[in-house]
Structure 1
Amino acid sequence: MRYFVSKTLRLLVCMLIIITLNFLIPRLMPGNPVVMMLGPDAAALSQQDYAQLAREYGLDQPLLVQYRHYWHSLISGNLGYSFHYHQPVAQLIQKHLGWTLLLLGPALILSTLLSLWLGCLAGWRPGSRLDLTLTLSSLLIYAMPQFLLAMILLSLFGFYLGWFPLGSIQSGTSHTFLGAVLDTVRHLVLPVTVLTLAATSTKFLVMRNSVARIRQDDYVRYALAKGIDEKRILFVHVLRNACLPLLSLIALNLGFMVSGALLVEIVFSINGMGLLIYEAALYRDYPVLQASFLVLTLVVIGANLMVDLLYGVLDPRVRA
């Protein structure tokens, strides 16, 4: 119980620090915060307009008072107002975040299952032809930037072969619910494949090395000497111990998956957080950038908490 409470408290402290940094960074940057928020439109404002906007956003108040108002706004779901889209930032994020999670969810599950399976096969027979093939393939994909992998798959399967759409998330031609679902799945195949391959390349290497190391343990050799079926040894006894380092990697790698998803969304023109952040950066829409950073960071922290708690369930030693 102490382990779970400790992990939860640590991540809550981490969330507090991130929220505080998200509050301080725009206010400590050189220049007028109002000018940063308005971007190019600020050139048309007078000094009276600056003062009025500063009062409306509470920027003329002491920093501690602003911090208290900032927390009150977060709790009430007020993330600011977009100057480019002319609507509340919370509505924008609610609209775009779902598509990003729809990319990350399947990619996370598929990459974990693939790395478990392929890592077991390669690590159980280290040095075999299968092991060398999978290891070299993983290293090649690992060294390749995700946007380059996305462009290769898009060009091959989307442009030349025409098997999948070139971009977007829906074609808008389906008139039934089932048709819309199938159309969305067809649009998601290539971007999810890119994220899955990129994530699997890292997890596979960790899983492969973990299985190869545990295979040399005495209890595995004893089980093999007794004539117990190799599949039973591998998937019942070895797998549980070998997957623990993989769980730690999933938590560490989740942030990289999020950043990769943002780039993949831009390549495939998916209307998720990546495209939202890209357009907000182009138009200097600071409220959107600030809120997007906060929301994505909290998503990663929440997922890390779930992985840490699962690690404690699978490995009783960490709870001691």
Structure 2
Amino acid sequence: MSRLAGRTLRLIVVLAVVAVVAFALAKLSPIDPVDAYLGADIARVGPEQRALIAERWGLDQPPSVQFFSWLQSLAQGELGYSMIYNAPVAEVIAERFWISLPLVGTAWLLSGIFGFVLGLAAGANAGGWADRVIRLYAYVLASAPSFWVAIVLLMVFAVGLGWAPVCCAGPIGVVPEAVTIWDRLSHLALPLITLSILGISQIALHTRAKMAEIMQSDAVLYARAQGAGTLDIAWRHGARNAALPAVTVLFASLGELFGGSVLAEQVFAYPGLGRAVVEAGLRGDVPLLLAATLVLTLFVCIGNMIADSLYAIVDPRLRRPRPSRVGHG
């Protein structure tokens, strides 16, 4: 119980620090929220109207007052009101989250599966041609920016070959109720591939390193002496032990995955939570920016906590020994 309380306390501290830093960065930004709110109508609005708009959104108050006012609303379960969407922040985040969930969730799952399999194959055949090919793929894409990969895929498969739509989560001009499952999948394909191939790299490299270490162990040497093949050894002796770094990286990669989704959604004009974060930052929508930042931070922290809990399941050696009771005669 004390361990859970400690984790909860650390989570609260992390969220508080993230909120302060995000608010400070938003206020240091050169973007004027009133100008961003007015957009093309800025030339037709006088100083009096600008002052009324600033008063309406509480932008005429000092930054400290704005921040503590937001904290007070957060304590009451309210995330504020979005300037650019003209809707409660909670509704905006919920709507965009459910659009991003199929993209991020599927990419996360595919990254774990394919990264683990490729890592096992490379580590089990360390030094072979398969190992060299997998490592080359992993090293190249692990260092490639997600927006660059997204642009390349967009230019090749959408613009050049015409195999996929150029943008959005559905056909332009079609109401959401009329969008078919095939339309949604076709618009999801390129952003999903972008996030998946980038996430596979990290998991494959860590799994490969652990698997190569396992293949040099005495247990594997004894298994080979008994006539076991490489595939049988990799599955029976390597998979379970190599799963530990894979699980670690998989849950720790949630932050990178969300970061990549922000850029990928921007390139493909995919209307998910990542694109909403970009718009909030570019247009000075502080309540939406703070709330989205806290939500993403919460997911990353929960992912790390789940990884810590799974360590003991994957590797029993990491379980904490229970204190022994010594009887007194």
Task: Specify the alignment match of 2:238 in structure 1.
Answer: 238
2:35 and 2:175 mapped to 1: Cα distance? 41
1:81 and 1:296 mapped to 2: Cα distance? 19
Query: In terms of mean alpha carbon deviation, does 296-305 or 115-124 score higher?
Result: 296-305
Change (3 A) 1:3 1:208: farther
Counterpart code for 2:217: D
Q: Which runs of 5+ in 1 are unaligned?
A: none
Counterpart code for 2:219: Y
Q: Aligned with 2:156: secondary structure?
A: helix
Query: In terms of mean alpha carbon deviation, does 69-78 or 160-169 score higher?
Result: 69-78
Deviation at 1:281, TM superposition (A): 2.7
Deviation at 1:152, TM superposition (A): 1.2
Change (3 A) 1:95 1:186: same
Deviation at 1:292, TM superposition (A): 1.7
Counterpart code for 1:201: S
Deviation at 1:237, TM superposition (A): 2.2
Change (3 A) 1:36 1:277: same
Task: Specify the alignment match of 1:161 in structure 2.
Answer: 161
1:91 and 1:318 mapped to 2: Cα distance? 42
Deviation at 1:285, TM superposition (A): 2.0
2:64 and 2:205 mapped to 1: Cα distance? 52
**Percent of paired sites with the same residue:** 31
2:71 and 2:163 mapped to 1: Cα distance? 48
Task: Answer yes or no: is the 8 Å Cα contact 2:33–2:283 preserved in 1.
Answer: no
Across the two proteins, how many residue pairs are aligned to each other? 314
Residue 150 (str. 1) matches residue 186 (str. 2): no
Deviation at 1:125, TM superposition (A): 0.8
Deviation at 1:267, TM superposition (A): 0.7
Counterpart code for 1:269: A
Residue 319 (str. 1) matches residue 319 (str. 2): yes
1:267 and 1:55 mapped to 2: Cα distance? 30
1:76 and 1:159 mapped to 2: Cα distance? 48
Within 5 A, what are the aligned runs for 1:2-81? 7-19=7-19, 21=21, 38-39=34-35, 44=46, 53=55, 67=68, 70-81=70-81
Task: Specify the alignment match of 2:96 in structure 1.
Answer: 96
Deviation at 1:118, TM superposition (A): 0.8
Normalising by structure 1, we get a TM-score of: 0.83
Task: Specify the alignment match of 1:273 in structure 2.
Answer: 273
Within 5 A, what are the aligned runs for 1:176-191? 180-191=180-191
Task: Answer yes or no: is the 8 Å Cα contact 2:103–2:192 preserved in 1.
Answer: yes
Task: Answer yes or no: is the 8 Å Cα contact 1:54–1:60 preserved in 2.
Answer: no
Query: In terms of mean alpha carbon deviation, does 2-11 or 242-251 score higher?
Result: 2-11
Change (3 A) 1:16 1:309: farther
Deviation at 1:59, TM superposition (A): 5.2
Q: Aligned with 1:227: secondary structure?
A: coil
Q: Which runs of 5+ in 2 are unaligned?
A: 321-329
CA RMSD of aligned residues (A): 3.5
Task: Specify the alignment match of 1:302 in structure 2.
Answer: 302
